[in-house]
Chain A
């Protein structure tokens, strides 16, 4: 199943949740923020949010900036 993560196509297993995806990709879960199809997905919903084919996911973190 293919989804779009941060503008790039990504192949993921079926019934993958947002939490699982972040965990598998070793993304720091603390203070990350996720937008699913243009809407902010709160962290408490990451475990229950099953991804569907063609979903658009944005995963952002804080970096140094002025």
Chain B
């Protein structure tokens, strides 16, 4: 396997976002891990350079150590605006994250629906417009919709992050056809976020031409998160290589792989 991977040099295939050339197309979320201590090992195994986290009120009675203390210093921090129900709340969280020294990347996440945690594309667009004007590198999490994606692109988003299925559901690419259309029609990088539950699903998204995937729950809740992080790393590389290689045509009927002449029974 190593010989096959050696012939593909990922350093020739960078993903450019916000002026940064990323070697890894796997973004990793830091929620739901059993302890902070495992996070550095997971990140190392994943090879990820972009990592998400959330901003929350300090709990006086049960102070937890800051997750930033567990991230390698060269990590690109992608704070999310989870908890925001409106564009104004998302903008406020982005300002706070920046003031906390998180740089200028932000994943916009505006959700009112508490059952499926589906994003509100309208409020997401308003927050994107505002934060792009302020100089943020904005990556909006969105429900895959071509019209909304075009508006986010026009607003200056750095990438579009459609969901594969509801956050934390591990149900894979339920929105596959809509994501395919976004990949085809939108010139920005499409990063599939939310719902990817298995390495094969990450590979599938990459084979379709997704620029990257963001994975959290599938790694954090795996029996062995470090092995799973490595599995996702390989799956993302494999899927990307499959996309670049250009898959062959699909057919309804068989087309023999072996020659159809020279059979033994021929007289």
A residues adjacent to B (C-beta < 8 A):
5-7, 25-28, 30-33, 35, 40, 42, 58-66
Contact = CB atoms under 8 A, between A and B. Distances in A.
Given A30-B66, A31-B101, A40-B96, A62 B36 contact: no
B113 to A, nearest CB: 17
A33 to B, nearest CB: 4
Contacts of A65: 29-31, 52-54, 79-80, 82, 216
27 contacts: A6-B57, A26-B63, A28-B69, A31-B68, A40-B99, A58-B57, A60-B57, A60-B58, A62-B54, A62-B55, A62-B56, A62-B67, A62-B100, A63-B53, A63-B55, A63-B56, A64-B30, A64-B31, A64-B32, A64-B33, A64-B39, A65-B29, A65-B30, A65-B52, A65-B216, A66-B168, A66-B217
Of B52, B55, B194, B214, chain A has the most CB atoms within 10 Å of the CB of: B55
Interface in B148-170: 167-168
Interface residues of B, number: 38
Nearest to A22: B58
Interface string B92-135: 00011101111000000000000000000000000000000000
B60 to A, nearest CB: 6
B29 A66 contact: yes
Q: Considering the complex of A and B, which 6 residue pairs feature the smallest CB-CB distances, nearest first?
A: A65-B54, A66-B29, A66-B216, A33-B100, A64-B30, A64-B31
A66 to B, nearest CB: 3
Interface of B: 29-33, 36, 39, 52-58, 60, 63-69, 79-80, 82, 95-97, 99-102, 167-168, 194, 214, 216-217
Nearest to B27: A66
A32 B69 CA distance: 12
Contacts of A42: 99
Contacts, number: 104
Nearest to B214: A66
Contacts of B36: 64
Given A30-B68, A35-B96, A61-B66, A66 B55 contact: no
A32 B54 contact: no
Contacts of B64: 61, 63
A2 to B, nearest CB: 15
Nearest to A7: B57
A59 B52 CA distance: 20
Contacts of A66: 29-32, 52, 54, 80, 82, 167-168, 194, 214, 216-217
Contacts of B54: 62-66
Nearest to A10: B60
A35 B95 CA distance: 10
Given A31-B66, A31-B101, A6 B96 contact: no
A36 to B, nearest CB: 12
A25 B119 CA distance: 36
Contacts of B100: 31-33, 60-62
